[in-house]
Amino acid sequence: MSSAKADGRVERGNRTRRLVLRRTVDIASVEGLEALSVGRLATELGLSKSGVFALFGSKEELQLATVRAASRIFADEVLEPVADVPVGVGRLARLCGSWLAYSQRRVFPGGCFFSAVMAEFDARQGPVRDALVQSLATWMAYVEGCAVGARACGELRGDTDTAQLAFELVALMETANAHSLLTAQMLAYDRARTGITSRLRATATDPALVPHIT
């Protein structure tokens, strides 16, 4: 086989993999990772079952690939928009706003992908749960890291418990996501923005440093 033919086959495989994963993240955000199957994906996307199976090899690998794909989308939608914001309490506020916007825009039709699938796997064991645990730990560490940076530059009080603050901010965000999905109303996002702004202003050395989250 010529190099050009081999490269063409690899590229077609990569395109198909991206197509499949864009569909799997959407399905899983609404129905869970257990709803994924090679047969369903092949039928919905007009692909062969053997072709889809060859890309992943097992349902578990399909689930793990879906988690990885969702992580990349999350990074693009939530983390990238604040990457250039200077360290400080304003960056922490904007990070929370970025997450709320990602959930509210329904980047995934089921709201936050990770909030949906973590509830599905929280009492299980295995590689998929481990991947989700790692995703949560990475996100919590990122939020806390922003808080640590804000404290280090003097914009949060020196006695701020950054782990506790990160936990409370994430709890407000996840509650807004859950309420909006269940009630089909967006008011919960406004309440979360108000709550996060209030919490940060109460902790900041100068409340004026905290922008109202939009």
CATH number at residue 17: 1.10.357.10
**DSSP single-letter state for residue 211:** P
Q: State the CB neighbour count (10 A cutoff) for residue 76.
A: 12
Distance CA 115, CA 12 (A): 32
pLDDT confidence of residue 143:
98
pLDDT confidence of residue 6:
56
Is residue 213 a part of any domain in this protein?
no
pLDDT mean values, one per 10 residues, the chain (214 residues) = 60 90 98 97 95 94 98 98 97 98 98 97 97 98 98 98 98 98 97 98 98 88
pLDDT confidence of residue 12:
84
Give the global pTM.
0.94
Is residue 99 a part of any domain in this protein?
yes
Is residue 49 a part of any domain in this protein?
yes
- Pinpoint the alpha helices (H) of 124-211: 127-152, 162-183, 187-203
Structural domain boundaries enclosing 193: 3-207
